[in-house]
C-alpha cells in the first residue's frame, strides 16, 4: 500500500509514497525515544536555539511550503503563507517562554522544601489532520519539544509531502537528530503505533470518530491523550451588535480555509431586530469571495480537500433544505473539475436540521433565528460540540460575562472571530474533545507534574 496526494483543484496526482514497513516504524520509534532521553537533559537555551532555527527555516521557505499545501489540500496560497508565519511565531513564543512555564513552583507546606516539578514524558505521538498541515503539527510539536519530549508524527495520508517537509525542518545537529520523526503509515496501522512501548502519550486533532478510536486505544495502553475534535461553533449576534462589522467578521469566519476548520463559524444565532440586515450583509460578503485556483494569490476560497468531503457537505445541505431551511446563495455542486463548493447561505435553520446538528466542513453558513438573548444562548449550547463560540454586542461588559460564564465552549471570543493563539490554551469540551494545547496549560499537558517534598 502507498500513500497518495491528489490535487483537489484538478483531480491530478501530486505524488505517492511507500509506507514504512513495520520494522522501519519500530526502528523510527526506538530512535526517537533514544533521542528524547538525551534531549530531556538539554538546557532550555539549547532547546530554544533549535526552535528558533526551525522558525527561521519556516520563514525562509514560506513560499515553497504554501505552494505544497495548495497542491496537496487546496489551501489558497496567501492563507498558506499566513499559516507558515503563525507556525514560526509559535516556535519563537515557546523558545522565549518555555523555561518560565516549566520552572519548578514552590509550595508552602510544613516541609523544609516542597515544590512542583515538570518532567518530560518521552515520545509524543502526534496524529494530525490535513486541513492545516503545518500549523496543527507545530502547535503540538513546538511546546512538546521545548518541554523536553520527542515527537513522532502520523500525518494525514493526503499531505504526506507536508509531513516529510516538516521532518526536514526539525533536523539539526546530533542532539536534535531524529527528535522529530514522520511515520509514513495509513490510519489502519495506528493501533500498533499507539501500543508501541516507545510512545508515551498521544495528541490527536481530527473527527469525533477518530477521537473515540484513539481514546480507546490510548486507554487500553494506559497512555495519556489530548483530543481536539470537531466543532459546530455558534456565533451570537445580539440586538445591539454592530451589524456591518459582525456580518463581515462572520463571513470571513465561515470562509477561511474554505470552511474546513474545526473552529470556523458554523451556526449564526441572530435576534429578530437585526436579523434581516445581518442576513443581507452576510450574503453580500459571502457572494463577493473569490473562488479559484489556490495557487493564484487573489484566490480566497480554494477547493475542498477531497470529493468525499464535498459529497458529505452537500448531503447535509440537501437534508436541511428538505427539513425546511431556505437557501439564498450557493447550495449546489458546480460543474467542472476539482472539489470546489460555493459559499452557501441557509436561512431559517432549526435545531432539527442536519447543518445545525452536525459539523459542516465547508463554506456553508447556517442562520438560525433566536427569539431572545437567553434563547440564543440555549441554542448555542444545544450542541454535542463545544470547541469555540463568539458573541457580537456593543455592550462589552455584558458580552464578556456571557462568553465567560454561559457559553459552553473551550474558546469564546467577543466581537471577532474565533482563532487559536500560542498565548492561550486551546481545546474543547463535550464531543469536541479534552485536554488543551498552547499557552502555559498546553506545554504542561505532556509533562510528569511531580510533587517533591523534602522533610
Q: Which residues carry out catalysis?
A: 228, 262
238 neighbors 275 (Cβ within 8 angstroms): no
CA distances from 298 to 46, 83, 289, 295 (A): 41, 16, 10, 9
DSSP code string of 218-234: HHHHT-EEEEE----EE
DSSP-assigned letter for residue 437: B
The shares of helix, strand and coil residues in the chain, as percent rounded to the nearest 5, are 45, 20, 35
301 neighbors 313 (Cβ within 8 angstroms): no
C-alpha distance across the termini of the chain, in Å: 59
Identify the three-state secondary structure at position 436: coil
DSSP code string of 318-339: HHHHHTT-EEEE--SPPSSSS-
Neighbours of 60 (CB within 10 A): 12
Q: Indicate the Cα dihedral angle 99, 102, 108, 112, nearest 10°.
A: -80
Quote the radius of gyration of the chain (alpha carbons, Å): 22
The whole-angstrom separation of Cα 359 and Cα 357 is: 7
Neighbours of 25 (CB within 10 A): 21
360 neighbors 313 (Cβ within 8 angstroms): yes
439 neighbors 430 (Cβ within 8 angstroms): no
Q: Exposed (0-12), middle (13-18) or buried (19+): which is 428, by Cβ within 10 Å? A: buried
Around 51, how many Cα atoms within 13 Å sit in the side-chain half-sphere?
29
Amino acid at each position: 500500500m502507498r500513500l497518495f496526494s491528489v490535487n483537489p483543484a484538478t483531480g491530478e496526482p501530486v505524488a505517492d509514497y511507500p509506507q514504512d514497513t513495520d520494522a522501519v516504524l519500530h526502528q523510527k520509534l526506538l530512535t526517537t525515544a533514544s533521542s528524547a532521553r538525551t534531549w530531556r537533559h538539554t538546557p532550555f537555551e539549547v532547546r530554544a536555539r533549535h526552535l528558533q532555527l526551525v522558525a527561521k527555516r519556516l520563514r525562509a521557505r514560506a513560499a515553497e511550503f504554501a505552494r505544497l499545501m495548495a497542491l496537496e489540500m487546496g489551501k489558497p496560497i496567501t492563507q498558506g503563507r499566513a499559516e507558515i508565519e503563525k507556525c514560526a511565531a509559535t516556535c519563537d513564543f515557546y523558545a522565549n517562554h518555555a523555561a518560565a512555564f516549566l520552572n519548578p513552583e514552590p509550595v508552602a507546606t510544613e516541609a523544609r522544601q516542597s515544590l512542583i516539578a515538570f518532567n518530560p514524558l518521552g515520545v509524543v505521538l502526534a496524529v494530525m489532520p490535513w486541513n492545516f498541515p503545518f500549523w496543527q503539527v507545530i502547535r503540538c510539536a513546538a511546546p512538546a519539544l521545548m518541554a523536553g519530549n520527542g515527537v513522532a508524527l502520523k500525518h494525514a495520508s493526503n499531505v504526506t509531502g507536508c509531513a516529510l517537509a516538516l521532518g526536514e525542518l526539525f533536523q539539526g545537529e546530533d542532539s536534535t537528530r531524529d527528535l522529530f520523526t514522520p511515520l509514513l503509515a495509513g490510519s489502519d496501522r495506528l493501533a500498533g503505533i499507539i501500543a508501541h512501548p516507545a510512545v508515551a502519550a498521544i495528541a490527536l486533532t481530527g473527527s469525533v470518530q477518530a477521537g473515540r478510536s484513539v481514546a480507546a486505544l490510548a486507554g487500553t495502553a494506559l497512555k495519556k491523550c489530548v483530543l481536539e475534535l470537531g466543532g459546530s461553533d455558534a456565533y451570537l449576534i445580539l440586538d445591539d451588535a454592530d451589524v456591518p462589522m459582525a456580518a463581515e467578521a462572520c463571513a470571513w469566519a465561515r470562509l477561511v480555509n474554505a470552511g474546513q476548520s474545526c473552529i470556523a463559524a458554523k451556526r449564526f444565532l441572530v435576534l429578530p431586530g437585526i436579523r434581516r440586515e445581518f442576513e443581507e450583509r452576510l450574503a453580500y460578503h459571502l457572494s463577493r469571495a473569490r473562488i479559484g485556483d489556490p495557487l493564484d494569490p487573489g484566490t480566497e476560497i480554494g477547493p475542498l480537500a477531497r470529493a468525499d468531503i464535498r459529497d458529505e457537505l452537500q448531503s447535509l445541505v440537501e437534508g436541511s433544505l428538505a427539513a425546511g431551511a431556505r437557501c439564498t446563495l450557493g447550495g449546489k455542486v458546480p460543474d467542472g473539475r476539482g472539489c470546489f463548493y460555493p459559499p452557501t447561505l441557509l436561512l431559517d435553520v432549526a435545531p432539527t436540521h442536519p447543518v445545525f446538528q452536525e459539523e459542516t466542513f465547508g463554506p456553508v453558513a447556517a442562520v438560525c433565528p433566536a427569539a431572545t438573548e437567553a434563547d440564543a444562548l440555549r441554542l448555542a449550547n444545544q450542541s454535542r460540540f463545544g470547541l469555540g463560540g463568539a458573541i457580537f454586542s456593543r455592550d462589552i461588559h455584558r458580552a464578556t460575562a456571557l462568553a465567560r460564564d454561559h457559553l459552553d465552549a473551550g474558546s469564546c471570543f467577543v466581537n471577532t472571530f474565533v482563532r487559536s493563539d500560542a498565548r492561550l490554551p486551546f481545546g474543547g469540551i463535550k464531543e469536541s474533545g479534552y485536554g488543551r494545547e498552547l499557552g502555559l496549560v498546553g506545554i504542561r499537558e505532556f509533562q510528569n507534574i511531580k510533587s517533591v517534598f523534602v522533610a
